[in-house]
């Protein structure tokens, strides 16, 4: 078996610097070196430890990655564009590229990482810690090794945008809950969507984003008595959703259409307690505990 071909992809900054001898003047090279030193000092002060050799070394890796991330975005080319990157470094400056890269990290950090939203997600201290962790994770780039930070950045953007769409759909459902908006800083987005879809099987005339046992009992009795057409209810429900949010809801409807233990067991002799347990598996904390 032939060995796999490994294509070396050093950070874009390093690939551009290699072109300096034939493409830039000594003065331009000196200015670039001075800029990169200044960025490294700033990164060491704010993100690592400017008083230790280890801190400065880590700051250098972050500078290489931060500038490279910005260059990838500015040139919009993954496989080519080293000369374009050098033109940006010489013409616009390394600071311009670094700021572009850091802005990308800041915008990524603002996107939700998980569909479970907590009040702590809006805490400034937590947000700053999350920003730093992302910066270190994506922008740590060894000048002598291949770096995939830009690809990982794009992957995280796509993943978080999907999570954001789920969160927005859940927020809209809460806002339009039939009993009035559900105001709770903690949000189980998947739970809210699951609850709304399950209750929409009865009919899509109203939106249920939060429930308790008494309302669930009424729902179960209604389904067992009237045996409504689930598809009709889901169609009515989906028609009420804003177009931008419909893809998220439609995807979840398709999942529950194929398999939803709550709806499947309603047609059996399962007790309310058993069904309630199944509902909690889907909705979690979005089911209100009710006590005598």
Q: pLDDT tens for residues 199-253?
A: 999 998 899 999 999 999 999 999 999 999 999 999 999 999 999 999 999 999 9
The span from the CA of 18 to the CA of 24, in Å, is 11
Contacts of 11 (CB under 8 A, 6+ apart): 64, 65, 68, 141, 143, 147, 149
The span from the CA of 160 to the CA of 244, in Å, is 16
Hey, where are the domains in the chain?
A: 12-140+149-164, 169-281
Whether the CA torsion 220, 222, 226, 232 is positive or negative: it is negative
- Give the N- to C-terminal CA distance of the chain in Å, as an integer: 71
pTM: 0.88
Low-confidence ranges of the chain (pLDDT < 50): 1-4, 78, 291-292
The span from the CA of 148 to the CA of 135, in Å, is 14
Contacts of 10 (CB under 8 A, 6+ apart): 143, 144, 145, 146, 147
Q: pLDDT tens for residues 51-74?
A: 899 999 999 999 999 999 999 999
CB 11 within 8 A of CB 65: yes
Per-residue pLDDT, 206 = 92
Q: What is the largest CA-CA distance in the chain?
A: 85
């Amino acid at each position: 078996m032939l060995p796999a071909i490994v294509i070396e992809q050093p950070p874009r900054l390093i690939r551009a610097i290699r072109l300096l001898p034939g493409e830039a003047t000594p003065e331009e090279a000196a200015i670039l070196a001075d800029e990169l030193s200044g960025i490294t000092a700033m990164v060491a002060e704010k993100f690592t430890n400017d008083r230790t050799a280890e801190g400065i070394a880590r700051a250098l890796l972050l500078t290489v990655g931060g500038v490279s991330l910005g260059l990838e975005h500015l040139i919009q080319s993954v496989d080519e564009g080293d000369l374009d990157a050098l033109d940006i470094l010489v013409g616009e400056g390394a600071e311009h590229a670094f700021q572009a890269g850091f802005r990308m990290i800041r915008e990524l950090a603002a996107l939700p990482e998980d569909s479970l939203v907590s009040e702590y997600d809006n805490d400034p201290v937590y947000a700053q810690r999350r920003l730093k962790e992302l910066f270190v994770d994506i922008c740590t780039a060894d000048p002598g090794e291949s770096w995939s930070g830009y690809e990982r950045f794009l992957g995280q953007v796509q993943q978080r945008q999907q999570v954001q769409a789920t969160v927005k759909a859940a927020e809209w459902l809460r806002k339009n809950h039939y009993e009035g908006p559900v105001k709770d800083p903690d949000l189980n987005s998947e739970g809210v969507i699951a609850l709304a879809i399950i209750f929409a099987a009865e009919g899509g005339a109203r939106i249920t984003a939060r429930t308790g046992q008494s309302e669930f009992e009424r729902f179960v009795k209604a389904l067992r008595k009237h045996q409504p057409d689930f598809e009709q209810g889901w169609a009515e429900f989906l028609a009420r959703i804003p177009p931008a949010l419909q893809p998220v809801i439609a995807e979840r409807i398709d999942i529950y259409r194929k398999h939803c233990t709550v709806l499947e067991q309603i047609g059996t002799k399962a007790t309310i307690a058993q069904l309630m347990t199944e509902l909690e598996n889907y909705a979690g904390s979005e089911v209100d505990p009710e006590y005598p």
